[in-house]
Chains A and B, each alone.
Chain A
């Protein structure tokens, strides 16, 4: 039961015998995470930074090969920055702004992401998933060295799970035989094929897309610009659509849409992959193949992300098409959402019901991501003749008329969702306040002199005040919000005022540990903040 499902890019957590394996009785841990991928390791970082002991179990000994997720959004970097892991990602990642769209080889139009200034992180970086994971594991090792109570155990494969009211019991296989562990809380981060979800017999329903995509990562001598190029119906016929995207190390991702009825083995033969690449690149371009893979996908999610003491995060809970980079990015938002809530429940600061809001909020996010990625997929791979006719009419018109360009959909790139109308939200009482910072929104970054706003938020609850007096701390039932006092003039570019004041003269924001807005007002009222704080902790 310890078969390799994939080969490793980095062997970062080789099997080591744990004292738990020699214990007379099953050892109980506060939190066990199943799956050492990006979402599992990020979960461990979030909890470990709160001082909560966490054990990550992975059935392999490191990070799987293959670039896989390559597009990491600003919000993921901001979350990783909260964990102290974003620096190396930013250093290694490729930043791109220009995208070009082609139809039958003609350029239809190009777009610039036109990044808004005054953010620490770019809208996106392209980075092979193994690097993203490695930087998270390296950060985990740093925290361990500083004494954080995090463990990661390679070659620990969960074989069965037994459920009790106040804990779960796991049978685990290792190269040295089985052992048993118990956990107060179990987090399933074991991917789209989640063995844990299967063991629990839980649903995972959605829509299958009848198309396959062939990925070829290549290195080229040719000098292509750092841009995202997307072809609809290219004349080279190597794919019904084709995407070219730059990654670090001089690697290009080429993604060919190759139809549903394909023989994977035949298509993945090097000579056949090369035929497609030659057709696309022309005969004179030299390149080397780094990695190839064929994928199909579904858009689906679990009905509930929480099942008693078990919580699911990332692909194990929801799966989307890759168009729009909403897979790993939404998983990072799951972690961001779950970490502080689980921490508060474990510390006894919030009721168990707070964890139900994890399901409500992230299901809302998953639905938004599934909607967006489904629309992109339907545009890229039209399912009926009339839908194909409309698609091509849009591309035709987009070349000449600006109005049609917003209809061209080769993936709406991942932005974090706003938890509009959900139960943890307090009053949105800032008249004239900007829509983008309404209650439920993730806080947008803003420059503050030599630094930025977001690093000052996210350590517990924050009371952000702009041009208004307030108490330095506010407490409600043992939960404390700490003030960050700013003046609009702290940011001479005006971005802070534009993003947080709008036309209001002053503002008070209650901000959750995941940097989402819990409530906002024009002036400070201690009782109102206390009420909002209770609501945000699931005591409303």
Chain B
């Protein structure tokens, strides 16, 4: 498996709205913790180490 960089989410706008709404009412620390939990859940779903490594690389800040 390789890292999926093509659009892969049906109803992308709806997902994005739900993602942002999930943070409603959270403090900054709570938001950061929510994101951490979310990333760990998604990473476990992916499982494949090569893909996770590619994702870690892709998420590096642009220089």
Query: Which A residues are closer than 8 A to B by beta carbons?
Result: 372, 375, 378-379, 384-387, 390, 394, 396-397, 399-403, 405-407, 409, 412
Contact = CB atoms under 8 A, between A and B. Distances in A.
A245 B28 CA distance: 37
Contacts, number: 50
A378 B24 CA distance: 13
The A contact surface, by secondary structure, is helix
Contacts of B23: 384, 386-387
A405 B5 CA distance: 10
A378 B17 contact: yes
A403 B20 CA distance: 18
A403 B28 contact: no
Interface in B3-58: 4-9, 12-13, 16-17, 19-20, 23-24, 26, 28, 31, 58
Contact of A375 (B4, B16, B62): B16
A375 B58 contact: no
A387 B7 contact: no
Contacts of B58: 397, 400-401
A407 B28 CA distance: 23
A400 B5 CA distance: 9
Given A372-B13, A387-B23, A402 B6 contact: yes
Interface residues of B, number: 20
B17 A403 contact: no
A405 B58 CA distance: 15
Given A386-B20, A387-B20, A407-B13, 9 more contacts: A375-B17, A378-B17, A384-B23, A384-B24, A390-B19, A399-B62, A401-B5, A403-B9, A406-B7
Contacts of A384: 23-24
Contacts of B19: 390
A375 B18 CA distance: 10
Contacts of A407: 12-13, 16
Contacts of B61: 396
Contact of B28 (A385, A396, A400): A385
Interface of B: 4-9, 12-13, 16-17, 19-20, 23-24, 26, 28, 31, 58, 61-62
13 contacts: A375-B13, A375-B16, A384-B23, A384-B24, A385-B28, A400-B62, A401-B5, A402-B6, A403-B4, A407-B13, A409-B13, A409-B16, A412-B13
Please provide the 8 A-B residue pairs with the shortest distance between their CB atoms, ordered closest to farther: A386-B31, A406-B12, A401-B5, A386-B23, A387-B20, A406-B7, A403-B7, A375-B13
Contacts of A400: 58, 62
A390 B5 contact: no
A394 B12 CA distance: 12
Contacts of A390: 16, 19-20
Given A390-B19, A409-B16, A412-B13, A402 B28 contact: no
B28 A386 contact: yes
Contacts of A401: 5, 58
A372 B12 CA distance: 12
A405 B19 CA distance: 16
Nearest to B8: A403
B61 to A, nearest CB: 8
A20 B20 CA distance: 57
A18 B20 CA distance: 57
A386 to B, nearest CB: 4
A534 to B, nearest CB: 35
A282 B22 CA distance: 41
Contacts of B4: 403
A394 B17 CA distance: 13
Contacts of B16: 375, 379, 390, 394, 407, 409
Contacts of B7: 402-403, 405-406
A409 B19 CA distance: 15
A40 to B, nearest CB: 32
B6, B16, B26 pick with most chain A CB within 10 angstroms: B16
Nearest to B62: A396
A397 B4 CA distance: 13
Contacts of A409: 13, 16
Contacts of B28: 385-386
Contacts of A375: 13, 16-17
B28 to A, nearest CB: 6
B49 to A, nearest CB: 20
